[in-house]
Structure 1
Amino acid sequence: MPPPTPGPPTEAARAVATLAALADATNRYHRERARRPFMMKLDTGLSVELPGPAVLADIVLPVLNARRDIRNDDGCMVDLTAPAIDGEPAAVGLAELIDGVRAFIAALPEDHTAGRPYCDLRLFILAAMPVTVAGYLRNVADAVRRSLPRVVRAPRERRKQTPEERHAAKRAFDAATRAEIRETDRPSQEAAARYLLLLQERSGPGVVIAPKDLHKRYATAAASSDRVEPIGRNKFFEIADIAVGPRTRRRIDGKPQPAYVTREVPQMTREERKDLARLIVAKMAEDIRTDALAGFAALAEEQNTLVAAVNEAIRPAKVVKLRKVV
C-alpha cells in the first residue's frame, strides 16, 4: 500500500518556514524603520536580533486570519466570521492580536537549521524582561493592524449639494481648520510670551532691541528646546507688541528705525510667568477677534448705506394725475 500523500501545508507551517528562512541582518538598511531588524541585549548579556515588527506582522497575519476574517473597518478592527452584535460586526481588540502573536512565537518548534532571527525570537520570548516583551509584541500587533485588509462596502449614494451648501460646508471646514491651528499653536505662543517676560526680567528696563535681533534671539532659544515648535515672525511680533510694548522709533547703529524698548518686569515665579503669558496670548486672540468684528460691522454699515442709496435711486417717481377740465 503506497504511503499517504501529504496534504498542503497549513498557514502556521508556512509561517514557521518563512520565519526560519530569515537570514541575519535582513532588511538592515530598509527605508521603513518597522522593517529593520530589532537589535537588543538581554539581561543575561546575550545580544539578540529580532525580525522587524512589520516583517513579523506579514508572517503572522495569515495565521491569525486562518480561522477568522479580521478586517479594518474605518480604523476599527472587526471579525466578520463572529456573530454580529446589534447588526454590527464583532469588534477585535489590540490585546487579542498581542495574544495571538505571543501564542505563535511560543509554539515555534526548535530548529537548529533556522536563521538567527528565528532562534533569537524563541530565546527572547523566554529570557527577556516582561515589559520588553510586551513592548515588542505591541509593535508587532500595531503593524498587523495597519496591514489588515479593509471591509468592502457598497458605495453610498450621495445627494448632490447645492452651491449654497457647498459654500457653507467650505466655510465651516475653514473655520474649524483655523480653530485647530490656533489651539495647536497656543503652547508655542505662550512659550514665546514667557521668553519675552523672562528676557525683560533679566535685562532690566530701557534696553533697545531691533525687532529682527529680538526674533533672532528667540529663534535660537526655541531651536534648542524640543518641547514646542517656534512660531513665525509675524505672530512673534504680535506677542512682543503686548509683552514688551509697541515698537517705537529709536536710533540703532546711527539709523532711526522701529525698535522694542524693554519695560520693568518684576521677578516672577515660574507659575506666575506661565499665567501672565497665558493672559498675553488670550489678549492677542481677543484683539484679533475684536478687530475682525469691527471690520465686519463697518462692512455691514457700508453695505446698508449702498443698499439705501440704490433703493433711493430706483424709487419710482410720484405721478400726479391731471384732471380733465370740461
Structure 2
Amino acid sequence: MSDPSSSSSPTPAHAALAAAVAPLFAGLPKRERSTYDRTSHRYVEPLAAADVAATLVLLFARAYVQHLEGEYEDRRLIARVRPADGTAEHVTRDRFAEAVATVLRHMPDAPATASHQTRRAVAHVRLLAERGPSSPYVRRVASAIGDRLPYLGDLAPRPTLVRAGTASATVSPKARAEQRRAYMRDRNRSARAADREGRREAMMRAAAWCTAWREQVGPGAHAAPELHRAYVAAAERSGMTPLGRTQLYRIADEALGPRSRRAVGPVYVVPQEVSPMTREERRDLAALIVDRLTAEWREHALDGLADLVAERRTEQAAPDVDNVAPVVDLAARRALRRVA
C-alpha cells in the first residue's frame, strides 16, 4: 500500500496522479465560487472541492482508511495502514490535510483543449495548496476525501488501530479523554476559521455592492431602509445569506459616508458628481473597508476584555477585620454602568 504523502517519497507519482484526475477534465469541471484571497490579493476560483476529492479518493484509499467510533459512531478517525506490522496508525486532521495539500500542490495542468477558466482553476488549486492545512479549501477537500475512504472494519485481515503517540492499541481512559478534547479543539478551531472566512467574504461583497449601488441610484438623499431592502433583494437573487441590518449600515457608512438625519429618518447622501469605479477599484475599496472595520472591532473587543478584567479585580476586595469579604451588588453595578 503506497502512501501519496509518505516521507520516503515526498513528491507524489505524477503518472498516478495524472491518471487519477484525468476523468475530472473529461467534461467541463465545476469551479468554486469566486472568493477574495488576502494573501495573493486577488480573487481565486479553484476547482470544486467535492469533485477534486472524488477523483483523488482512489489514490488515498491505497494508504488510508476511516474508522467510526463513539457511542453513536459520531466521531470519524483517519488512519494510515501499515501492512508490514498489521496496524493502522491514527493521523490527526492536520496531518491528513497536509497529505492532501502535498498532492494538490502537484496537480497536473489541464489538457490544452480545456478552457482558460479550467486551466486557471487548476493554478488556483495549486496556489491554495501552498498554505497547507491552514487553507479552508484544502480542509474541505480533505474532509470530502475522508468521507469516501474505505472503512477499517471492511479490511481483511483487519489491522489493529494504533492511536497517535502510543505504542499499542491500549489507551487509558484519561488519555482517551485528552485525545477527545484535542479533537474537539481542532474541530472548533477549523470551524471558526471557516466561519471567519465566510463572514469576511460576505462583508467584501456587501462593501462592493454599496459602491455599485451609489453609482446606480444617482445623486440625492436616499433613506437607509431603502438601501437595506435593495441589498437584501440582491443577496437573495444571488442565493447568498444577507448580512444583518446593523452590520450592513456599518459597512455603508464607510463606503457611502456617515448617515445624515432628515425628517424622514436616516439617509445616505450621494453627491452630485459620482465618479464610476472599475471592478478592481471596487474590490480594493471593499478590502480596505473590511480591514478597517475588522481592526476597529478587534480593538473594541480588547478594550472590553481589559474593562472586564479590571472590574473583576476591583470586585475582589480585601476582607474586613472579621475575615469576611464585603458583598458586591452586581445588579446595582450593572445598572450604574448602563446609566453611565
TM over 0.5: no
Q: Which entry has the higher C-alpha Rg, 1 or 2?
A: 1
TM-score range relative to shorter protein: 0.3 to 0.5
* TM-score scaled by length of structure 1: 0.44
